[in-house]
Amino acid sequence: MAETRQLESKATGPLAGVRVLDLTSVVNGAYATQILADQGADVIKLEDPGSGRGAGGDIMRWAGHVPEGTPRDMGPIFLAINRNKRSVVLDLKQESARRAIRRLIRSCDVFAASIRYEGLKRLGLGYEDVKAIRPDIVYVHAAGYGSDGPYAGEPAYDDLIQSASGLADVLPRTDGNPTPRILPTLVADKVSGLFMAQAVTAALLHRARTGEGQFVEVPMLECVTSFLLVEHLYDHTWEPAIGQWGYQRVINPYRKPFATKDGYIGLLPYTDRQWDQFFEVAGFGEQIKQDPRFADYATRAKHTHELYALVEEAAATKTTQEWLDLLKPLSIPVVKTNRMDDLDAEPHLKAVGFFQTYEHPEAGRYRAMKPPVKFSRTPANIRRHPPRLGEHTDEILAEVRDGEEA
């Protein structure tokens, strides 16, 4: 059984001293604010008590399975993206709650929300409303679509953004099956969350230099489309276009883990020398040298299907460990392909302490993934368990002098 770690006592990350009022939920915004929290920010997660039909709070609290006897509001995805936060429950339909949130805003550096903007304005929480309370606020809105376009204000979730961004067209261009398909990971939510976290820190830097807050819009469709088209704009980079959408090396059905005698490897020789060395140790050296399709980078790039097909053929001639032993000394990029079941024993992840076990006072033992980015002077850390719904309401309201008129 893994050793149980203790929470650290104080924030040591580069954002220590920054306070974030967090009106995000689900994955996109919550992933972003956890990154800020891991990096030291005091993130106050504002949650709703519920309408009577639901149990209230972030809907991700209730997604997934929990062990017998574990509180139902501590679902696995919620635990993965809500540590280092404090939860306060306020019913913003009540005037007392609206007074409390105004006091909270005055104490915060960042206002982060993923509620649709018209809804925020109806609550009196549009940018101009919040700026009137805290003039230098960094106000960051995670939107589905940019406010300048015809989809502004429409609801957006990962499935919709994958569909709208062109992401669902990547697999059809790879395997020839024309049916659009959504990738089985919440890539649109998580990519947008990364954009959001970066945007917050950039806006905080601007404020530190100038004293000026600002409104920052982080639209999912634009973020994910720009992420996708880094490589897949390809021949449509030029005006007029000179060829295809999609980087041909990547939209290649042979770009995949390659089967060995006893498993799979991830393998990518990249330079001319690495390709020569790989095929030499694979026993295909003379064949490759005599084939004009693979003479140099430019010609190889035009024949990646055939090249990767040869790699697939070669990979099957040895075991995974034999390939690792042969290719690592040559600095040819190679790795054992892991199933999810293999990750617990993955040597590198074990060595860096990637999985960490904690004891939640009510939810019991759970695993966290340590903050992946390493700061030499201001390390990110884990100092709070993911919160129960409303766990810190009294504590937080006391901090902003509950009872004082805003």
Considering the domain architecture, whether residues 129 and 278 belong to the same structural domain is answered as no
Pairing type for strands 334-336 and 264-267 reads antiparallel
Tell me which of 288 and 68 has the higher pLDDT.
68
Identify the CA nearest to 294 among candidates 308, 307, 281, 313: 307
Give 14-65 as a DSSP string.
TTTT-EEEEE--TTHHHHHHHHHHHTT-EEEEEE----SSS--S-GGGGSS-
Is the residue at 200 inside a domain?
Answer: yes
Task: Give the CATH number, domain containing residue 53.
Answer: 3.40.50.10540
Average confidence (pLDDT) over 310-325 = 95
pLDDT of 280 > 70? The answer is: yes
Indicate whether 183 and 299 sit together in one domain: no
- At 403, the pLDDT band (50, 70, 90 cuts) reads very low
Judge whether 334 and 321 are in contact, CB under 8 Å: no
Residue 237 and residue 174 in contact, taking contact as beta carbons nearer than 8 Å: no
Q: Are residues 168 and 202 in the same domain?
A: yes
Structure letter (DSSP) for residue 243: S
Q: Does a structural domain hold residue 392?
A: yes
**pLDDT bracket for residue 302 (50, 70, 90):** confident
- Residue 360 is predicted with a pLDDT of 97
In a domain, 237, yes or no: no
Residue 215: phi and psi, rounded to 5, are -90, 130
Same structural domain for residues 125 and 51? yes
Query: What value does the mean pLDDT take over residues 332-354?
Result: 97
Residues 323 and 367 in one domain: no
Query: How high is the pLDDT of residue 311?
Result: 92
- Nearest-angstrom CA–CA distance, 154 and 112: 19
* Claim to verify: residue 175 and residue 65 sit in the same structural domain: yes
Q: Which two tokens stand for residue 298?
A: 């430019």
CB 70 within 8 A of CB 364: yes
Per the listing, tokens 């076990």 go with: 357
Report pLDDT for 369.
97
Alpha-carbon distance of 134 to 107, in angstroms, equals: 8
Phi, psi (degrees; rounded to nearest 5) at 365: -70, 135
168 and 292 housed in the same domain = no
Residue-wise pLDDT tens digits, 60-83: 999 999 999 999 999 999 999 999
CA distance 72 to 54: 13
Rounded to an integer, what distance in angstroms lies between the CA atom of residue 362 and that of residue 69?
Answer: 9
Instruction: At 312, list the tokens.
Output: 């697939």
Q: In sequence order, what are the beta bridge partners of 217?
A: 141
In a domain, 4, yes or no: no
Please indicate, yes or no, if residue 134 is contained in any of the structural domains.
Answer: yes
Each residue of 242-277: pLDDT tens digit? 999 999 989 999 999 999 999 999 999 988 899 989
Kindly state the average pLDDT of the residues 134-154.
Answer: 97
Q: Residue 329 burial (CB < 10 Å; 0-12/13-18/19+)?
A: exposed
99 located within any domain = yes
Could you tell me the two tokens for 130?
């919040």
Query: Among the three residues 284, 305, 336, which one is the final residue of a domain in this structure?
Result: 336
Q: Check whether residue 189 and residue 298 sit in a common domain.
A: no
pLDDT digits (tens, 9 = 90+) for 324-334: 999 999 999 99
pLDDT, residue 54, reads 56
Contact 73, 370 (CB under 8 A): no
Is residue 9 a part of any domain in this protein? no
pLDDT-wise least confident of 41-50, 51-60, 111-120, 290-299: 51-60
What percent of the chain has pLDDT above 70? 98
Query: Is the domain of 27 the same as that of 97?
Result: yes
19 — pLDDT class (breaks 50, 70, 90) = very high
- Note whether 169 and 202 are same-domain residues: yes
**What confidence score (pLDDT) does residue 297 get?**
77
Write down the pLDDT at residue 404. 58
In tens, the pLDDT along 81-138 reads 999 999 999 999 899 999 999 999 999 999 999 999 999 999 999 999 999 999 999 9
Q: Which residue has 């693979």 as its token pair? A: 294
Positive or negative: CA dihedral 199, 142, 23, 375: negative
How far apart CA 98 and CA 45 sit, in angstroms, is: 15
pLDDT at 127: 98
SS3 content of the chain, % helix, strand, coil (to 5): 40, 15, 45
Domains: count for the chain: 2
Closest to 134 (Cα-Cα) out of 92, 103, 91: 103
Host domain of residue 266: 258-336
Q: Which residue has the tokens 């959408």?
A: 245
> Quick check: 357 pLDDT over 70?
yes
Q: What is the predicted pLDDT for the residue at 53? A: 47
Answer yes or no: are the C-beta atoms of 223 and 195 closer than 8 Å: yes
pLDDT at position 406 is 46
The CATH number given to whatever domain includes residue 310 is 3.30.1540.10
pLDDT of residue 250: 93
pLDDT in tens, 164-202: 999 999 999 999 999 999 999 999 999 999 999 999 999
Residues 202 and 320 in one domain: no
Q: What is the average pLDDT score of the chain?
A: 94
Check whether residue 219 and residue 331 sit in a common domain: no
274 occurs within a structural domain: yes
